[in-house]
Structure 1
Amino acid sequence: MFPRLRLLPAAFLLAACNETPPAGATDGDTSTSGSTSSGATEPTTGSTSEGTSMSPTTGPEEPELPGMFAPEPLIRHVNPFIGTGGSGYGVGSAFPGPQVPFGLARPGPDTTLAGGFALGFSHCAGYHYDDTEVQGFSQTRMHGTGIVDYGAVRVMPTLGMSPDKTDPGGYRVALDKATEKASAGYYAVTLASGIEAELTATARVGLQRFTFPEGQDPVVILDLAHGLPDVETVSGQVEVDAKAGEIRGHHHVSGGYSGRFGGVKVYYALRASRPFAEFGSWNDGAPTAGAPSQEGEAVGAYLRFDPGEPVVIAVGLSFVDAAHAAMNLDAEAPELDFEAARTAAEAAWEKDLARVQVRGESARDFELFYSALYHVLLMPTLASDVDGSYRGLDDAVHTTDGPYYTDFSLWDTFRTLHPLLTLLYPEYQGDMLRSLTRMAEDGGWMPRWPLGTGYTNGMDGESATVVYADSILKGFDPEEVGLASAYAAMRETAMAPVPPGSPYGGRMAVDKYIELGYVPVEAGFSSSSWTLESAYNDFALSKLAEALGEQGDAAMFAERAGYWKNVWDPDQQLLVARSESGAFVPVADPLTWQDFYAEGNALQYAWYTPHDIEGLADAMGGPDAALQRLQKFFEDSEKEVLGLMPQQYYWQGNEPDIHAPFVFSALGDHAGSARWSRWVLRNRYGDTPSGLPGNDDGGTMSAWLMFAALGVFPIAGTEVYLLGSPIFSESILHLEGGDLRIVAPVTSDDAVHSAAASWQGEPLAQPRLLHGDIAQGGTLQIDLGP
């Protein structure tokens, strides 16, 4: 039933992990031997982590655990090509280009099939692994989303300049897949023109190093007229200063989400490592040599260089203005030193990856785990400049004394990514909470999917409530994250509709929700989902009100947290839509999508009360009845054949039911969670470009993999971690309060039945722990058997 991984002797594993992968080995190795970082280049630095030891931590009476710790440097286990492929609803929307953790600059290849064909849905990050041509390297994008946006400031190396190269059809070129390489902080490919392109990044600067064939005519094109599929250019600006060797301007793009608020304007300052031999620009037509300035919807520029050494093109970015983009470039890449930037990027990744050490017997598991951790640390996006300036959701410029982030995919990330950051990277999470508070203060409303500098109103629910509750319950200081201000903004939209003309949409039919106890089907699409999300959000608000001493609010929101019961139809035994008259809407086929659910069907949404799983079980007839139903749900899932469309039973490729494998443990059945979380991990994830179960959604699915691999899973907005089945014999999480060890002497895939679990040597009565238990460190042991 479960695939079994071949176990490796430690000496063989060490040799495998120390082997330099061959160039172009980008598909990933599905065996447990050979290369561990498919397509990754050999890192230029060793480990930069401090205070982390790879020596065994077993006590004198504890038997030696099998396997070995993942060898350093940990970046060798990162495969950025995982999730860059897939088809249909299985597209991962990852990109292989470089960045630093949560950086603004994400230079990467914008690719197409032959002739320039590229479907938007499979190119949300600008890249798909199956593509054969490159039509530029843009500097901005998102990770893992199901919507296309950004793709600003495209540069492209080419040989010679001609009028047809003002359009992608003139400069698009095939790529040599055998030469394509990617690792944490670095990407490289050789184009059919013979030009070698290498990319790296700092926090706010994208660096491209182009090596041209000897004796050819080196040209670099800056195209501000074209971007990613389905993304339009509103305007572009080019100001060439040949003496300074610099181009400044902006690229205003309008994508699937940014188009909702008029698009996002990205400012840039571009510099070259060598003087221009010639330059020119264009505006909706043929290029003009020596023309220094252009502005419009179809503008661009070209730079010609004398033949010789490689050319480094560095692009500083800012949401504030071009002067700040130049300031960022001055601060982060003043010498345009590509190797120094790459070394710094790799060091930044090594430092953050070292927050977790894992011991195992499979090189492939190391690759899956650290590639997931890499994906977790890509988004949200840094949006403040080196002097603390940032453009707020009111389109005004503000200053902050800490990092300010944007691009919060909250409906997705509140479930797994933010709880992971709260646990492992509280310094990042604290800055993100402060960023959300500033958004509410600047723009007037707490957003639910802010992108760049605007409100998008994407998805359902007010998920920031759960993000704050999760962090506050786990020890964040309310004053330090500005909770009082954030709570006031979230309370306002929970109590009344927003005024007409507001940039924020507010809660759907909140007046009806308060009056009836549910969002009626007459309110429009996703009415049932809005009821369930609002109840969950109200649960979170009750916890935040308690933290602020607002006892009246706490009681009110705690009562409203039970409103999910108002859409539970005892006859259908489903959470469904309900009309204003009180009638439940019949579901003819629980396997098909209904208008009253957001991206799911009745069977998947049947488990969507994460804050009240016990109450849901009671509605189903008690824990035993709920467990029997859940078991059948997964047995049916196991039989389902995967295709291009969403799964009809358990669907790991989207968010509403991804907590379901751990509902077993919530109801006291650790064996069920151990078995089915392992099944999901082994059957919905892989080490190939199609190795994600669907859109990674800003790292949400990768964070799920990490929790499942560690054997603990958070219920967001609570202190609870539910137990599963670790795939590593030992994991060490370097927490702020002390090291958390998770020990599992047996990790074989055909031995996932839970035998026992203990915390600090004492047996656990239930398969769960609270954050307060683990925050100061300790040892959790999970014993598994056949």
Structure 2
Amino acid sequence: MSLFVALSVAQSADYSQYVNVFLGTENGGNMFPGVVAAPFAMVKLGPDVTNFTTDAYSGYLPVGNITGFSLMHESGTGGAPKYGVVSQMPVLGAVPNPLVDLGTNRSGPDQGAVGYYKTSLANGIIIEVAATEHAGFYQYTFPAGGASVVVDVSHVLNSFRGLGWGQNYTNGRFGIMRDGHYEGRGTYNNGWNLAPNWDIYFCGYFDAPATSSRTFSGNGTTLASYGRARFTTGKMRQGGVFSFNRETVTSRVGISFISAERACQNVQKEIPRGTTLKTLSNTASSRWNSEVFSKITTTETNSTILTQLYSSLYGMHLIPSNRTGENPLWKSHEPYYDDVFTQWDLFRCSTPLMHVLQPAAYEEQLRSLIDIWRHEGFLPDARSSNYNGRTQGGSNSDNVLADAYVKGVRGAVNWTDGYAAMRTDAEVTPPNNNDPIALDSSTKEGRGALPDWLRYGYITPTYSRAVSRAVEYSVNDFGLRQVAMGLNLGADSAKYLNRSRNWRNHWNPVASSLNFTGFVVPRYANGSFAPYDPLQCGGCYWKDPYYQGLPWEYSFNAHHDMAHLIDLAGGPATFTRRLTKMFEPGIAPANKVTGGMIFNPANEPSFTTPYLFNFVGRQDLSVYYSRMVAKKYYNAGRSGIPGNSDAGAMQTWLLWNMIGLYPLTGQSTFLIGSPWFSQTIALAAGKTLNITVTHTNTNANATVARSSNNSSSNSSSSDAAYYVQSLAVNGKPWTKAWIAWSDVFEHGGTMDFALGAEPVRWATGELPPSPAS
């Protein structure tokens, strides 16, 4: 079969059948199961559920009352809910007071697929939805006797955590036009990123005249007006009630950040009158197949594995949101993306995979980051509702830009501006936004603890998250070194390489834990180290020395300086034992996800750790532990990811495990693991990476002892025999436990793996690079 024919077959196949849109919606995964018509679509139409105790981060909860179906959501995020705006709520019969709680329970579980979602309410109303990139489609099936649809401009997703991160409705405008359609605007603020007021405009049509349509306005549950006023405006709740005496009603709603007129244009262009639910659903499925799912094709037939593969590809493409042409803040010819949530979560393995699978969109996202810096002064680490915030650790857009640069991304990216944006992060302290959760410095953007970093070369406990920030600032500075070196800025290259080693200044060689010495710990202005238990991190949150990770975890995170780290840790043999200790159960009681294992698959500081055995010649252990994590903590069900998806970060970790590689962001290096199956990955400009897997008989003379706890109850050959026996890259024998971008991604390539049940010492070549050592 020719390459052209193979790609045509791949693009015509229906991979969407394997997508479980509910994967990761439970057990804290926070995935959005509703309709997203295309990768990065602005509209995300789905249910909003409340039980008045649990935050519905993506709008969805398996238990609770439906309070509406709204057009804007995040997916897989934590902190607090965002959006849940531009909502419709169907209600049985008349609506005497649209301001009261109209929430209704469901008669059974929701149903969903790519491009389609269905909810059946306990009162007999059925809601089915589809969407386009800037508009949504509702199809209601009503019981006999009539029903109403309520549009409440004040509707948002609430937060019940008590941290002050709840969203607020502050102002609105709603009107019913002479032809019966409605228009309006809602103004909202706050949420996890502490955003100031922002506006969204909407424009909605029903396919048949309502028997009655009325506007309403009021405070709390008390009506100020309920009648035929053409427009209501102000700080009170605003909206409309549309009543129908028919079995089926459809509604089309567009949104825009620019104007109600633009919202009307969006819906009329993308969902013209007469469009059917089936047409929209089929179009969405076709787009996802051609633009995303066909990027990785395989001869694998295991339905569970295929569900994990294509559901993960789907989950990693839900956000950020492509809002090019919908930027209300400035006019620009550059692309504009929002809902970056957050680079702290994404830079390790998500943005490198986005580069591989979506090179055009990836370049647009890079250009958008730089354009935000041009107009707002800093790169975002997180951004939502057109506002930067929050920064959990370092200025990690620096890492994203550096990774793109060293892998040759040029195109329309202005790298002079890109480097200037990175240098702003490295040299300019952002104004303190006085975030109550961490008052010491800015959590909005940039590097809030930069004064200490520049003065001491480390970060004192004056600043929250001091140690984890220091480790990340080192990686950020290494990113600047990489770009400066490429731009022939010799002085900057040397300066930032030196600064990238400052994580070492937090290394206390006498700090001890579990019979190992040397850990990154807090350090005072006088140079002394704070006495600190490496198995503790306080609450591992905003005010603590470490963010979402233990000292044990952060002590492995200088991935640009691994050779020096291995020396500090006691050399290769001791380093290997330390890494192995990360995966023993019962050591860290606070980690309930893993039963006391220090390694935490639910938080990003541990993501790279299983692969670090490659730096000490034990690629077999990287394979064993990374495969153990993937098989134990991921599955194809509603609880299929180990905690919060973090905007697809968990999904991309699993996808790299399936591919058999792992990226080191800011470097061109990929650590070699073990692929789950043979596969073809579509790259830019029609190139491909073909990975083949053959299973061989175990080498009777295996030179590496099997780990004492290495047993498997899995039955498939890929689970029973996954150790690399040999590897050929581009047809030639390969003895290194790593490859470079130029080896198989830049021009395409092949990787042919022979796998077996016993580990062998095949990777006898040069160790992975350690460029800052």
Measured against the shorter chain, the TM-score band is 0.7 to 0.9
Matches within 5 A, 1:164-563: 164-167=97-100, 169=101, 171-178=102-109, 180-213=110-143, 215-230=144-159, 231-258=166-193, 260-284=194-218, 285-286=222-223, 288-308=226-246, 310-335=248-273, 337=275, 338-351=277-290, 352-384=292-324, 388-391=325-328, 396-400=329-333, 402=335, 404-477=337-410, 480-498=412-430, 504-522=444-462, 524-563=463-502
2:352 match: secondary structure: helix
**1:26 corresponding residue in structure 2:** none
Q: Flag the structure with more relative contact order, 1 or 2, with Cα contacts below 8 A and sequence separation at least 6.
A: 1
CA deviation after TM superposition for structure 1 residue 108, in Å: 0.8
**C-alpha distance after superposition, 1:110-148 (max 9, x if no partner):** 1134xxx2412xx1111122x142111111111111121
Q: Is the 8 A contact 1:143 1:378 kept in 2?
A: yes
2:637 to 688, 691, 694: 688
**2:760 corresponding residue in structure 1:** none
CA deviation after TM superposition for structure 1 residue 225, in Å: 2.1
1:578 match: secondary structure: coil
2:15 to 74, 84, 97: 74
Q: Aligned AA for 1:649?
A: I
**2:34 corresponding residue in structure 1:** 97
Q: Aligned AA for 2:182?
A: I
Work out the CA distance in 1 between the residues paired with 2:443 and 2:457.
26
Work out the CA distance in 1 between the residues paired with 2:272 and 2:47.
24
- Which ranges in structure 1 are unaligned for 5 or more consecutive residues? 1-48, 56-68
1:433 match: secondary structure: helix
**C-alpha distance after superposition, 1:675-723 (max 9, x if no partner):** 1111111111111211111111111110111000111111111111111
**1:142 corresponding residue in structure 2:** 74
For normalisation by structure 2, the TM-score amounts to 0.86
Q: Is the 8 A contact 1:317 1:325 kept in 2?
A: yes
1:570 match: secondary structure: strand
Work out the CA distance in 1 between the residues paired with 2:302 and 2:359.
30
1:441 match: secondary structure: helix
**1:758 corresponding residue in structure 2:** 728
Q: Aligned AA for 1:466?
A: N
Work out the CA distance in 2 between the residues paired with 1:445 and 1:642.
35
CA deviation after TM superposition for structure 1 residue 569, in Å: 1.2
**C-alpha distance after superposition, 1:639-695 (max 9, x if no partner):** 989746996511111111111111112333210111111111111111121111111
Q: Is the 8 A contact 1:754 1:784 kept in 2?
A: yes
Work out the CA distance in 2 between the residues paired with 1:511 and 1:203.
43
Work out the CA distance in 2 between the residues paired with 1:71 and 1:328.
28
**2:509 corresponding residue in structure 1:** 570
**C-alpha distance after superposition, 1:281-337 (max 9, x if no partner):** 222233612222222344233343443352222221222222222222222112262
Work out the CA distance in 2 between the residues paired with 1:771 and 1:583.
42
1:316–1:407 Cα change, 3 Å: farther
CA deviation after TM superposition for structure 1 residue 397, in Å: 3.4
1:397 match: secondary structure: coil
Q: Is the 8 A contact 1:271 1:313 kept in 2?
A: yes
Work out the CA distance in 2 between the residues paired with 1:319 and 1:74.
33
- Which ranges in structure 2 are unaligned for 5 or more consecutive residues? 160-165, 434-441, 512-517, 696-716, 758-773
Matches within 5 A, 1:32-181: 52-53=6-7, 72-86=13-27, 91-99=28-36, 100-113=38-51, 117-120=52-55, 123-129=56-62, 131-147=63-79, 148-167=81-100, 169=101, 171-178=102-109, 180-181=110-111
2:510 aligned with 1:583: no
Work out the CA distance in 2 between the residues paired with 1:190 and 1:207.
16
1:111 match: secondary structure: strand
CA deviation after TM superposition for structure 1 residue 193, in Å: 1.5
1:783 to 731, 751, 754: 754
**C-alpha distance after superposition, 1:583-625 (max 9, x if no partner):** 1122235144462101111122121112222221121122222
Q: Is the 8 A contact 1:383 1:406 kept in 2?
A: no
CA deviation after TM superposition for structure 1 residue 489, in Å: 2.3
Q: Aligned AA for 1:760?
A: N
Q: Is the 8 A contact 1:752 1:784 kept in 2?
A: yes
1:245 match: secondary structure: coil
Q: Aligned AA for 1:704?
A: W
CA deviation after TM superposition for structure 1 residue 774, in Å: 0.8
1:521 match: secondary structure: coil
**C-alpha distance after superposition, 1:77-132 (max 9, x if no partner):** 0001011011xxxx00102101121011011111134xxx2412xx1111122x14
1:437 match: secondary structure: helix
1:182–1:709 Cα change, 3 Å: same
Q: Identity over the aligned pairs, expressed in percent?
A: 28
1:263–1:416 Cα change, 3 Å: farther
CA deviation after TM superposition for structure 1 residue 378, in Å: 0.5
**2:707 corresponding residue in structure 1:** none
1:432 match: secondary structure: helix
**1:729 corresponding residue in structure 2:** 678
2:583 aligned with 1:634: yes
1:277–1:238 Cα change, 3 Å: farther
2:151 match: secondary structure: strand
Q: Aligned AA for 1:267?
A: Y
Work out the CA distance in 2 between the residues paired with 1:140 and 1:249.
15
1:668–1:314 Cα change, 3 Å: farther
CA deviation after TM superposition for structure 1 residue 755, in Å: 1.7
1:510–1:754 Cα change, 3 Å: same
1:435–1:579 Cα change, 3 Å: same
Q: Which moved more, 1:158-167 or 1:339-348?
A: 158-167
Q: Is the 8 A contact 1:233 1:251 kept in 2?
A: no
Q: Is the 8 A contact 1:317 1:328 kept in 2?
A: yes
1:665 to 599, 614, 630: 614
Work out the CA distance in 2 between the residues paired with 1:165 and 1:565.
61
Work out the CA distance in 2 between the residues paired with 1:558 and 1:223.
54
CA deviation after TM superposition for structure 1 residue 462, in Å: 0.5
Aligned residues: 701
1:176 match: secondary structure: coil
1:449–1:196 Cα change, 3 Å: same
CA deviation after TM superposition for structure 1 residue 240, in Å: 2.3
**C-alpha distance after superposition, 1:500-539 (max 9, x if no partner):** 67995431221221221111122x2100111111000000
Q: Is the 8 A contact 1:70 1:359 kept in 2?
A: no
CA deviation after TM superposition for structure 1 residue 576, in Å: 1.3
Work out the CA distance in 1 between the residues paired with 2:740 and 2:686.
15
Work out the CA distance in 1 between the residues paired with 2:271 and 2:200.
19
Q: Aligned AA for 2:229?
A: A
2:370 match: secondary structure: helix
Q: Is the 8 A contact 2:77 2:341 kept in 1?
A: no
1:460–1:503 Cα change, 3 Å: closer
Q: Is the 8 A contact 1:155 1:221 kept in 2?
A: yes
1:550–1:155 Cα change, 3 Å: same
1:320 match: secondary structure: coil
CA deviation after TM superposition for structure 1 residue 276, in Å: 2.5
For normalisation by structure 1, the TM-score amounts to 0.85
Work out the CA distance in 2 between the residues paired with 1:655 and 1:557.
24
1:149 match: secondary structure: coil
2:555 aligned with 1:606: yes
Work out the CA distance in 2 between the residues paired with 1:533 and 1:516.
16
Q: Aligned AA for 1:94?
A: M
Q: CA RMSD in A?
A: 2.5
Q: Is the 8 A contact 1:497 1:507 kept in 2?
A: yes
